[in-house]
A and B are shown apart, each in its own frame.
Chain A
Amino acid sequence: MKGLESVNNLVKEFKRLPGIGQKTAERLAFFVLKSDKSMALALAEAMISVKESVRLCSVCNSITEDDHCEICRDSGRDRDIICVVEESKDIYAIERSREFKGLYHVLMGVLAPLDGIGPSNLKIKELELRISGGGIKEVIIATNPDTEGEATSIYLSKVLKPLGVKVSRIARGLPVGSDLEYADEVTIMRSLQGRKEI
């Protein structure tokens, strides 16, 4: 829109957000334009505060507003089992299941040979140090079941097993509620390999 630099600018910034195209960005910009100034200030402040107060947990690299995250501080959790995930957001997915009561370790990515991301680019040394510190019995590797996640899992088992911990991998197979007929052969193969006696 000609002569409306500030509106254009806001549209441009909204468009940077994931899933926001030109139309949605314009709608959002007009919404802000029509709302009270206090609403706009609250939005801007919330964004700035997230950037200023959120940091990484010094133990598990999960996002937190303190030095240690809530999970690492929680004395009710099993402290001898660590679940290794790629990103902080994976913790939220696992926590929703309420199945896991141990601690986490965020790798901050995954091994990606085609992008040149190697073991030294991830928080693997930190994980080794945590385990060497003692008190850990089991490490569950919960990286994604794609090629890079598998590569990371194989690499981790190679470096962690010599430290004397049990290393396990989350099961890979058919999603609950899906249809066998539409699953590809790799998924079915993994499901058969990971079958369980009932």
Chain B
Amino acid sequence: MPLYETKAIVLKVIDYGESDCIASFFTKEYGKIQGIVKRVRNKKAKFGASLEPFTLSNIIFFGRENANLYNVNSADIVDPFSVNRDDYDKLIHSFYLVDLLNTYLSDRDPHPSLFDLGLETLKSIGEATGRGKTETAINIFQLKFLSESGYAPKMGMCVICGDCNLTPYGFHPGRGGVICRGCMSRVTYAIKVSPGILKFMERAMHGEPHIIKRMIISKEMNGELRYVIEKYLRLHTGRELKSSKFINSHLSSIG
């Protein structure tokens, strides 16, 4: 059986039986993978903090090619993202990032640039000095995630009337894209969003990394964006992120 060694972001670990656990990881080469870690709870010292959520670890695993469940031999910390763990706001945004990957990515479907962006986003969250930066970082990551994972919303023309020369006026989560002013008044379930947001969405999804890095938006725009993406993802995947209610209640509590 082939043996693999790779860097991996720890997504989630659940207990399995008395002493084992099943961990899911996001790796650059193999995409999301799941592996059984034997006797992790009896030998905590061996794995230490290397299996804590959003830790970057170097893992060694083996199994058949395309196995559903690999065997994880070892995990060593490469970057624990410690500063992300000392602040509630940073913590729940980091949790949200791994929840997004764990919930919506399919197994063994590699997205190398998303992996790099994931690490960069965790780093930005750690370095962020204010709420705006954390939220912008996570929103950019969400948008990049949509375009990378095949969920990209349609941005170039009105999803109702097909008008290509529109000034976008709103977003229709069900139809999955922007709509024009005329259609906005005729359909239900559309969300009116500011033109700045739509431009930001387009840039974040398709822009060059160095441009994206410099983008920062207001608290209100971040809030609007989070709302639109959440509605859209829920409608198109049929699944909801468990950690999103954390973010929502936390952000509404700090106003």
Contact = CB atoms under 8 A, between A and B. Distances in A.
A114 interface: yes
A114 B98 contact: yes
Contacts of B80: 185-186, 189
Contacts of A133: none
A147 B53 contact: yes
A146 B13 CA distance: 12
Contacts of A155: 88
Nearest to A112: B242
Contacts, number: 65
Interface stretch (A31-39, A49-57, A95-103, A176-184): A176-184
Interface residues of A, number: 23
5 contacts: A113-B96, A114-B12, A151-B91, A183-B48, A184-B50
Interface range on chain B (Cβ under 8 Å from partner): 20 to 34
B99 A147 contact: no
A46 B250 CA distance: 45
Interface string B234-245: 000000001101
Contacts of B54: 147
Contacts of A77: none
B85 A114 contact: no
A18 interface: yes
A154 B99 contact: no
Interface of A is mostly: helix
B92 A187 contact: no
A169 to B, nearest CB: 11
B52 A146 contact: yes
A195 to B, nearest CB: 16
| Max chain A C-beta neighbours (<10 A), residue from B18, B50, B88 | B88
Contacts of B50: 184
